[in-house]
Amino acid sequence: MEEIYNNIYLGDEYPYLRPYLCNGNPYEAKICFIGTNPATPIYPFQAELSEYIELFRNYDAFMDFYKQSRKSKGKTEISRTRMGIIEFSKWIREEFGTNMIETDIFTYPTKSIKELKNVDKEILLKSIKLFENVLKEFNPPILILHGALTVNTFRKLMENKDIKYNCNENKMENMEQANPFAEIKLNGRKIKVLVSKHFMYYGRTGNSFKSLKHNLTEMLSKDKGLEI
């Protein structure tokens, strides 16, 4: 855990890195939900480091802070993507009784994905290293990649790693149906990787995410090959 806590502060002028969120005990989570990067920066002037650490460790406290931060900027309390993630996490708990870790390949937050291109490369490398430390620390048996950019970035990150792809197409519909999309060996565990369209399209019911839900149900109801 120290490798996570000790590497989230970059300087007073930079937002904190966001390593993960989890509505429950991350060590008991069977699923890690992965995006490209967080979209709500939190700066040292908004919260001291110790306060920030407590925020991302306490899901409800983080969400309260997140909503207030957005409202102070004239935005809605939650974004479409965040609403989708919340509803999906709720579905996971109700259906399977497990927690879901939320993280991003680039743990450096920006207001838009375009801003990520202008971030110093050294900072981006630090942010990726933090993501890798999160996977190493909690070692969940299922990863879900949401959005085409996340999938492409993950593929580049996994080059020269012990990974087997079961779908080599780039069409999202085909990648979503693959169960699993890929299998990787991390920290001695075989991990299943699923793919989903971006969660800004999930809404409150996730009706257009039937492939993802079906694949998860098949995995978690039977624990097919999962080293839990």
* pLDDT tens digits, one per residue of 171-221: 898 999 999 999 999 888 899 999 999 999 999 999 999 999 999 999 987
Residue 32 — very low, low, confident or very high, per pLDDT cuts 50/70/90?
Answer: very high
Mean pLDDT computed over 11-25: 95
Beta bridge partners of 164: 183
Tell me the two tokens of residue 3. Answer: 């490798």
Alpha carbon separation from 29 to 99, 144, 218 (Å, rounded): 4, 13, 17
- Convert the pLDDT of each residue in 160-174 to its tens digit: 888 999 988 788 989
Residue 223 — very low, low, confident or very high, per pLDDT cuts 50/70/90?
Answer: low
Report the alpha-carbon distance of residue 142 to residue 176 in Å, rounded: 14
Report the alpha-carbon distance of residue 41 to residue 3 in Å, rounded: 21
Report the alpha-carbon distance of residue 93 to residue 80 in Å, rounded: 20
Query: Burial level of 188, CB count in 10 A (0-12/13-18/19+)?
Result: exposed
Which are the contacts of 80, defined by CB distance < 8 A and separation ≥ 6?
A: 200, 203
Report the alpha-carbon distance of residue 54 to residue 48 in Å, rounded: 10
- Convert the pLDDT of each residue in 83-93 to its tens digit: 999 999 999 99
Report the alpha-carbon distance of residue 197 to residue 6 in Å, rounded: 33
Query: What integer pLDDT is reported at residue 222 of this predicted model?
Result: 62
Map out the domains of the chain with their CATH numbers. Answer: 2-222 (3.40.470.10)
Report the alpha-carbon distance of residue 103 to residue 131 in Å, rounded: 7
Asked if 151 contacts 175 with a C-beta cutoff of 8 angstroms, the reply is yes
Query: What integer pLDDT is reported at residue 70 of this predicted model?
Result: 86
Mean pLDDT computed over 27-42: 94
Report the alpha-carbon distance of residue 77 to residue 69 in Å, rounded: 8
Measuring CA to CA, which residue among 226, 206, 204, 225 is closest to residue 214?
206
- Entry pTM: 0.93
Sheet with strand 142-146: strands edge to edge: 21-22, 100-104, 31-35, 142-146, 189-196, 182-186, 163-165
